[in-house]
Amino acid sequence: MRIKNFLVAALLSCGSAFGQVNDFTTPLHLLQSQYETPYGALTTEKIKEDLDRVFHFLDASTPAKVIDGKTGKELKDLSKMDENTRLQQGSFRLASYEWGVTYSGMLEAAKATGDEKYFKYVQDRFKFLAEAKPHFIKQLDQYGVIDPQMRQMLKPHALDDAGAMCAAMIKFEQNKPNFDLRSVIDNYMNYIMYKEYRLADGTFARKRPQLNTLWLDDMYMAVPAIAQMGRLTGDMKYFNEATRQIKQFTQRMFVPEKGLYMHGWVESSDQHPAFFWGRANGWALLTMAEVLDVLPLSHPDRPWLLQQFKAHVKGLSKLQSKEGFWHQLLDRNDSYLETSATAIYTYCIAKGVNQGWLDPIAFGPVAYHGWSAVSTKINAQGQVEGTCVGTGMGFDPAFYYYRPVNVYAAHGYGPVISAGAEMIRLLKQFHPRLNDSAVQFYKEEQTYPSPIFSVSSRKGDVPAGSSRKGNQPVVFLIGDSTVKNGTGEGDNGQWGWGSFFDQFVKTATVENHALGGRSSRTFITEGLWEKVYNEIKKGDYLLIQFGHNDGGPLNTGRARASLRGIGEEVESVVMAGTGGEEKVYTFGHYLRTYIRQAKAKGANPIVLSPTPRNVWKDGKMERMSETYALWARQVAEQEKVPFVDLNDIAAKKTEALGETRGKSLFFDAAHTNKEGAILNAEAVTEGLRALKGTDIQKYLK
């Protein structure tokens, strides 16, 4: 078989069009892409560093203290509160909806990283709020005044005041805290379920900027808390209400042909303000992700909700920018790139992949590139840049185009923490890898050294050359199941000697590329040899052992036989499976192919005869001394390469144990168990030590 080297077909100057000069040594298709944001180099360690930086900024920026309004000093004894008492002001409000999202993100980070400081952040502030609650109620009763943040919690008057905080508190309540959080939760839920304004059909609505207006934001400001209440109480009415709300918002506001939600809907209007604002779509997607996370698998609305989540993800994924961000107005590329929406989408898509709701091959790279973008907006102080400030509902595009961004826009912090946490989970479950300069997601780690590679569907396959350490050689093994059975991990109790050969090798590494069922012919025709050939280098060793599968039919059934002998006979056959024509050569011809091509690369081929079969007569094992063992020796002599008569060496070692004991080393007529495979590996090593004309001995123990 002739192996083709991949050469540059045309050395053109087009590389300079990309600001790169081709030096006539690098193939043009391997030139590096000039990505504008980091691409293809995420690690859990780096993500954790980013999250820690955000954490330390927030921890310092959000004190949980009560102060005397006149003196500015901390008031530790809350029973002494008066009309001047208030919460110490920080950069962000402890009971705002943005901080409800942040608390949820902190809980996610604690679980994903195992770092307790994230959990403690939430615990300390929830405990503070819960324990301060009765004192602020008393303050309101006695003086008619109350800190605005505490008013939001104790006397909510909008979904913004209640939903996100309530959802985060219910999540924390699962930990059974030693302080009263449940009464705060119940107060929030009472407002959401029974006091918030609604349309006639029960959909949550607002009276601004027009009467009976739906804000897409309100899906998140109410529904996740309701679903979480269902998990907390087990009462199905909450799950039913959660999915009902999502359906009714979707019927009015989702545009199927775009796969996006409008930001607003006005009951009295024939034409609704069709602006696809980034963060509002984030709230909708986050709502569905949170509800799917807790909705019982048996709930009748779950299939619909999962399909709607997928439809929304599909629509959003099409609009991701080249930088990895999404735009402030999703379908208007001249609007700015916005961080909080990008972080929400990254979190939800990564979660969808981790939960099995989304295809990792299609959507893993979307989340990966999203986080790569978001991470660039975490500055040295841990502040999140590029986040749009609080935004009402507009009826013209300019309103959205010109909304300011600010590091103190609290909306960015929770989504960024959640996204980072979910990306850590993603990287622990999957193995992203650049292939042809594009991020691809793999369930198993890919260690191919080349920048463009094909992936085997066979478990246990070793990427050729992947074990190489510096300038040390690799010992490549090729052969059939007697060298590697199944995945090489003792499938069904059967082992090949190649699984243990590395125990006898030092300094050099061993790669077992043998595969069960292959013959000297099919190891070539199925492309297995080409993968080894492409990576074998000068100074490497190639151990070749075939013969067990070289008999049988030429073109029917498994169709793996070679012609008998070592001559240059050739026979053209029509393959029954495909109808195609194939030229079949002798066993010796195929062995010569391996030997000559390995030599051409500067490697050192060594031929082995097949392992002995479990066939006995008069206490002796059957040898292949007139067939494959003989032909292997003859080819080695012709090509002047070392030969190890493994057939004879292993047979003698087995015979020395006696027939009964010797037979116990086999699984069947050809395959060995673990003990038999180790004996064969020892026999290979003995044969190699005795060779002349090779220096492989210096790599043997």
Q: In whole angstroms, what is the distance from residue 66 CA to residue 183 CA?
A: 21
Long-range own/partner contacts, residues 388-395 (CB < 8 A, 24 or more apart): 388/278, 388/279, 388/328, 388/338, 388/340, 388/341, 391/277, 391/279, 392/208, 392/209, 393/209, 393/213, 393/215, 393/263, 393/264, 393/273, 394/263, 394/264, 394/273, 394/275, 395/273
581: β partners: 574
Contact call for residues 258 and 276 (beta carbons, < 8 A): yes
Residue 495 backbone dihedrals phi, psi, to 5 degrees: -135, 150
Which candidate, 421, 271, 287, places its Cα nearest to that of 346?
421
Distance between CA 518 and CA 498 in Å, rounded? Answer: 15
Q: Alpha carbon of 302 to those of 47, 201, 294, 306, 353: distances in Å?
A: 32, 21, 10, 6, 17
Q: Minimal CA–CA distance to 632: which of 553, 550, 697, 561?
A: 550
Told to judge if 180 belongs to the known catalytic residues of this protein, a careful annotator would answer no
Respond yes or no on whether the N-terminal peptide bond of residue 612 is cis (omega within 30° of 0): no
d(CA 528, CA 547): 17
671 labelled catalytic: yes
Burial of 72: CB neighbours in 10 Å, binned 0-12, 13-18, 19+:
exposed
Phi-psi region of 25 (alpha: psi -120 to 50; beta: other; left: phi over 0): alpha
**Is 321 annotated in the active site?**
no
Q: Which residue is catalytic, options 82, 124, 668, 695? A: 668
CA 593 – CA 85 distance, rounded (Å): 89
In the set 481, 499, 520, 562, the catalytic residue is 481
CA distance 56 to 49: 11
Residues involved in catalysis: 481, 668, 671
